[in-house]
Amino acid sequence: MDKVAIIGVGLTKTGRRNDVSHQELAFEAIKTALKNCELDIDDIDAVVYGTMDNFDGISSPERFDSIALGCGRGRGKPMMKITTGGTTGMSLALTAYYHVASGLYDTVLAIGVQKVSENVEAQQVLNTAVDPILDKTFGLGAIHAAAFQASRYRSTYKSNIEDYMCNVAIINRKNALRNPFAHLKLNITDDDYYSSPYLVWPLRLLDSCPSSDGAVAVIFASSKVAKRLSENPAWIKGLGYISDSYWWGTKPIEFWDNLAILAKRVFKMAKISNPFKEINVAELYNAFTIQEIMEYEAIGLAKKGQGWKLLDEGITCFHGSLPVCPSGGVLSTNPIAASGLIRVAEAALQVMGKAEGRQIDGVKNAIAHAWGGALQFHGLMVLSNE
C-alpha cells in the first residue's frame, strides 16, 4: 500500500457556537484545512464525514452539510458518513487513510462536526450505548462508566487516586490556556478541584469533559501529493481499531485490556519497540481524568496500576519528557463526533511543527487515541515526521 500523510488541518473555535449553523461550522474547518495546504475543494477526491445525529438533536445533518463538504449541487464527489460514538473522529481518520493507501484516491478530506448545544442533554443519548436489558433502566451513561473505572482502580491499585486525578484535571485545563481553539480554559488549583461537586463518586465536575460545539477537518494525501504540496507532512506509521463487548459485567474495568492489545499491534506496525522512549507527544482521549491515567498503562507508557507515577514525576506535563494532551485534551474540548479526529489533528500539528503556542520542541513521533461506546471501542494512530 502507498504511504499516506496528513498535509492540512483545520480547527474551529469551540464552546457554544450559536453564531453559526451546522454547515457553517463544517465549512469553517474545511476552509482552514484547504488553506493550510493551498488546495481548493475541487482538488479533493472524496470526503469522509462524521457526526452523531443524536448529539446534534437532528437527523442526517449530512443532507445539508454536503454543500459545505463540496459534495452538493451535482458535483458527484463521493462521500461516506461514519458514526461510531466517541471513536467517530478516529474512525474517520482510519477510513480516510485506507481510501488513500489503497490507491483509490490521492486526496481525502476527513471532517467531523458536532453541535451538542442543539441537543437537550447528551447523557440521555449516552444511556442508549449501554446494555438495553441489564443497564439502560438504571440511567447509566459515560459519567457512570468512568466512575466505575475510578472506583475499581482505587480499590485495586491506588487508594488515593483522586490526588492524581486532580493533577490530570489541573494539567489539562492549564494546557488549554495555550490553545486558541479550546472550550474550557481554566487556571485551577487543588482547592478548586476538591471543592468541585461530585457527579458520581469518585468523579467530580472537574474530572469531567464539557459538551462542546466544534468541527475539525484533516486532509490525507498520497505520498506523491504530500511530497509535492508539503515540506513537512505528518506521515502515518501505524494505526488500528479494536472492539469489545458493550456489557460491563465481566470486564476488568480497572485496566483497558482491549486498548493494550491494540497498542501492541499499532506499535508493531509503526516499528516502535519502546513507546515511552520513542513517542514524544501523546494526544489521548481523556474524557475523564481517571481514563488518562488508565491510558498511560494500556498503551505501555507505565506498568499496570502505576500510571500515577508519571504524574508524580511530572513526565506528562507540558514541559515534561512525554507531554500528554498539550492541547488540553477532551477534558477541555469535546465536540463528540469530532473529538477523536481532533486528537489526530493535534498530533499531526505537533509532528509538522505547526502547533504554535502549544508546540512541543523536537517532536518526531506522536500518538493519537480515541475511545467510544460503553468503553468497548478504541482507535490509535502513530504519526511521524519521517
Q: Which three cell numbers stand for residue 361?
A: 520542541
d(CA 143, CA 165): 15
Predicted confidence at residue 354, as pLDDT, reads 97
Beta bridge partners of 200: 203
d(CA 352, CA 347): 9
Q: What average pLDDT score do residues 167-175 get?
A: 98
Note whether 45 and 71 are within 8 A (CB): no
Closest by Cα among 343, 51, 320 to 209? 343
Q: What average pLDDT score do residues 67-92 get?
A: 85
75 — pLDDT class (breaks 50, 70, 90): low
d(CA 238, CA 290): 26
Closest by Cα among 56, 64, 65 to 115? 56
Q: What average pLDDT score do residues 191-210 get?
A: 97
pLDDT digits (tens, 9 = 90+) for 225-265: 999 999 999 999 999 999 988 777 777 899 999 999 999 99
165 — pLDDT class (breaks 50, 70, 90): very high
Asked whether the predicted pLDDT for residue 74 surpasses 60, the reply is no
d(CA 131, CA 374): 9
Q: Residues 37, 38, 41, CA angle at the centre, nearest 5°? A: 100
72 — pLDDT class (breaks 50, 70, 90): low
Residues of the chain with pLDDT > 90, as a percent, come to 81
User: pTM to 2 decimals?
Assistant: 0.96
Identify residue 4 by its one-letter amino acid code: V
Worst-scoring range by mean pLDDT, 137-146, 160-169, 284-293, 363-372? 137-146
Q: Which residues contact 92 (CB under 8 A, 6 or more apart)?
A: 48, 49, 50, 82, 110, 111, 112, 218, 340, 341
For the CA atoms of 370, 289, 245, 83, the dihedral, rounded to the nearest 10 degrees, stands at -40
pLDDT digits (tens, 9 = 90+) for 338-385: 999 999 999 999 999 999 999 999 999 999 999 998 888 999 999 999
For the chain, the three-class secondary structure string (H helix, E strand, C coil) is CCCEEEEEEEECCCECCCCCCHHHHHHHHHHHHHHHCCCCHHHCCEEEEECCHHHHCCCCCHHHHCCCCCCCCCCCCCEEEECCHHHHHHHHHHHHHHHHHCCCCCEEEEEEEEEHHHCCCHHHHHHHHCCCCCCHHHCCCHHHHHHHHHHHHHHHCCCCHHHHHHHHHHHHHHHHCCCCCCCCCCCCCHHHHHHCCEEECCEEHHHECCCCEEEEEEEEEEHHHHHHHCCCCEEEEEEEEECCCCCHHHCCCCCCHHHHHHHHHHHHHCCCCCHHHHCCEEECCCCEHHHHHHHHHHCCCCCCCCCHHHHHCCCCCCCCCCCECCCCHHHHCCCHHHHHHHHHHHHHHHHHCCCHHHCCCCCCEEEEEEEECCCCEEEEEEEECC
Q: Which three cell numbers stand for residue 173?
A: 485545563
Superfamily of domain 4-118+211-229 in CATH is: Thiolase/Chalcone synthase (3.40.47.10)
For the CA atoms of 101, 370, 322, 346, the dihedral, rounded to the nearest 10 degrees, stands at 60
Q: Which three cell numbers stand for residue 278?
A: 520513542
pLDDT digits (tens, 9 = 90+) for 113-142: 999 888 777 777 777 777 788 777 777 888
Asked whether the predicted pLDDT for residue 112 surpasses 90, the reply is yes
pLDDT digits (tens, 9 = 90+) for 212-229: 999 999 999 999 999 999
